[in-house]
Chains A and B, each alone.
Chain A
Amino acid sequence: KAGVTQTPRYLIKTRGQQVTLSCSPISGHRSVSWYQQTPGQGLQFLFEYFSETQRNKGNFPGRFSGRQFSNSRSEMNVSTLELGDSALYLCASSSQGSSTEAFFGQGTRLTVV
């Protein structure tokens, strides 16, 4: 069974640009969550989608947005990039809406220069 797939693995963007990251969950999983991981703040919750609906949102500015498609694949978008957005962005999928078992992808390493 394939795991959670995130693309691209690495990305370098210039301040002010926008970026779109993609996540394909484990087959059959309908819940996708996004996290930002930085050395200073650790892993922080961005948002969660279930059946194409955003159900939960973390404490991030509106520049961070996401969506989920009917096949459960999800994308997150960051507009007007800032240097502080440099981080590892992780996606996690789970089978049920309240499942305790969340499986993470390898992440997308975003560097903003």
Chain B
Amino acid sequence: QKEVEQDPGPLSVPEGAIVSLNCTYSNSAFQYFMWYRQYSRKGPELLMYTYSSGNKEDGRFTAQVDKSSKYISLFIRDSQPSDSATYLCAMKIAGAQKLVFGQGTRLTINP
């Protein structure tokens, strides 16, 4: 079993919809939780990170962490075709540099 599980999709939704992306994990030592966006033929781009449990909002993006359930989510409101990409969750323990990634979810927003 992988430390971080993420449904690879693909996920296809109409423009304007609310998108929910999720990851589960097994290592309770993870303290930092990140979401990256990766366009085709590009490197991952950091969208948001949160420490421990709670919510964090940045524009149309909201990240949630539920450590008791070992479950993290990324919500995208008012989705745009330009949001079409692969979304990767990543996690790490405090004091470490190693990021453990989910498989990535390929998202398509249809105009």
Residues of A within 8 A of B (CB): 4, 6, 31, 33, 35, 42-45, 48, 50, 55-56, 58, 90, 92, 94, 97-98, 100-107
Interface of A is mostly: strand
Q: For this complex, into which size category does the number of interface residues on chain B fall? A: 20 to 34
A-B contact pairs, 11 of them (CB 8 A): A35-B99, A42-B88, A42-B102, A43-B44, A43-B101, A43-B104, A45-B98, A98-B94, A100-B92, A104-B43, A107-B43
A107-B42 Cα distance, complex, nearest whole Å = 7
Q: B74 CB to closest chain A CB, in angstroms?
A: 16
| Distance between Cα atoms of A75 and B93 in the complex (Å) | 25
Footprint of A on B, CB under 8 Å? 32, 34, 36, 41-46, 49, 51, 88, 90, 92, 94-104
Contact (A98, B43) CB under 8 Å given A42-B101, A42-B104: no
- In the complex, the 3 A-B pairs of residues with the closest C-beta atoms, listed nearest first: A104-B43, A43-B101, A48-B97
A-side contacts of B46, CB under 8 Å: 101-104
- The answer to whether B96 touches A98, judged by C-beta atoms less than 8 angstroms apart, is yes
Which residues of B are found within 8 Å of A48, using beta-carbon distances? Answer: 97-98
**B97, A33: Cβ atoms under 8 Å?**
yes
How far is B49's CA from A56's CA once the two chains are assembled, in angstroms? 22
Say how far B24's CB is from chain A's closest CB, in angstroms.
15
CA distance A92 to B34 in the complex (A): 14
Check A100 against B34 for contact (C-beta < 8 Å).
Answer: yes
